[in-house]
Amino acid sequence: MHFRPAVETDLDDLLGCVVDESISWAHPDRLLSFLESGNYRYDHMWLAVSEDDGEILARAVWWGFPGGDRPLAMDCLYVHPSVGDRVELAAELLRRAHAAFGTKPAYHVFVSNGWREDPKALAAIGWRWEAAGRAGLTEELERLRYEWTADEPVPEQSDRLVFRGDDDDEVFVAAFRRVAEGTLDHHTRQALTTMDPEAQAREDVDGYKSMPGDRSWWRLAYAKDGDLVGVALPSANNAGPVVGYLGVVPGHRGHGYVDDLLAEITRFHAERGVQRIIADTDLGNVPMARAFERAGYRKFSIRLVLSADPVNA
């Protein structure tokens, strides 16, 4: 067995890997379009190939921003059906790739609602989960995926908040920092265990700036007396328009402002003719999940995120 990153001449063999299990994967259309956009790179795909005939026996594919030199998330884990111990082969492939990357990006898997009761989905996830765990991705997080579609009513504009853009990133860094206090969002809480609040806020702002959504869409929300209430960032990812990020500063929580911020984002996208808006939130962020449900967003799937403990990442 030989472990190595992919190269351009592997393309036909990469396209020949087929995952026919109940799980998201880097299928040929996705592979080709993300190679073209720069979200996938050959050196961010790792292979285990047979020493005898060069056949791909395992393949892992990571995603990143175009031009970014580090992969940010693993998208697909494939092992050829002929392999006996697929868990160990996949785990070894991930260990080698992590060592080469110098980081252990999280594995993002998309599954349907009710996956825990679906034997096919459980089987597809089960061995990958075990392999990811052996390679150090031991933390699990379930994120709920919501969608708003244009057949839902467009929400009214808030009559108690004023929304304004601001070209100064520092203003958003300061607002993100306040909104992160006491957050129920797992990723932010985890980041705050290893970073100071300002660095964490800056990293988030930089992350949202790298997304395909426009920086000029970002809004700060103020009460009538000029006090900052929160942030509302309509955005977009490779798949289309997303809610992006929203948050309420601690002193204004518990007054339902989350509904005004979400309405602003939904209205903003709807008014530019968007037909579908996607949003994710953690299973444990109950106030946010309730707000999506009140605003006519429908839960359509689940994103499972398997990541390294932040101190071992």
Q: Which residues bind ligand COA (CB under 6 A)?
A: 179, 182-185, 246-248, 253-258, 281, 285, 287-288, 291
Measured from the CB atom, the residue of 28 and 256 that comes closer to ligand COA is: 256
Phi and psi dihedrals of 32, rounded to 5? -65, -45
Specify the residue, 93 or 201, whose C-beta has the smaller distance to ligand COA: 201
User: Would you give the distance in Å from CA 303 to the centre of its chain?
Assistant: 8
In the complex, what is the shortest distance from the CB of residue 145 to ligand COA, in angstroms, rounded to a whole number? 11
Beta strands at 106-111 and 73-79: parallel, antiparallel or unpaired: parallel
- The closest of 288, 311, 313, 312 to 299, measured between CA atoms, is 288
- Min separation Cβ 124 and ligand COA, Å: 27
Which pairing describes strands 228-237 and 219-223: parallel, antiparallel, or unpaired? antiparallel
C-beta of 218: minimal distance to ligand COA in Å?
Answer: 15
Bridging pattern class, strands 161-164 and 219-223: antiparallel
Nearer to ligand COA, 235 or 285 (CB): 285
Residue 307 DSSP label: E
Instruction: State the minimum distance, in angstroms, from the CB of residue 248 to ligand COA.
Output: 4
Tokens of 95: 């260990």
Report angle CA 169, 62, 279 to the nearest 5 degrees: 50
Residue closer to ligand COA, measured from CB, 62 or 235: 235
Of residues 56, 47, 138, 54, the one with CA closest to residue 100: 47
User: Smallest distance, Å, CB 180 to ligand COA?
Assistant: 7
- Output 105 or 247, the one with its CB closest to ligand COA: 247
Q: In terms of DSSP bridges, do strands 276-282 and 45-49 run parallel, antiparallel, or are they unpaired?
A: unpaired
Catalogue the E-assigned strands of 7-55.
45-49
Nearer to ligand COA, 40 or 292 (CB): 292
Cβ(1)–Cβ(48) below 8 Å: yes
Distance in Å, CB of 252 to ligand COA, minimum: 7
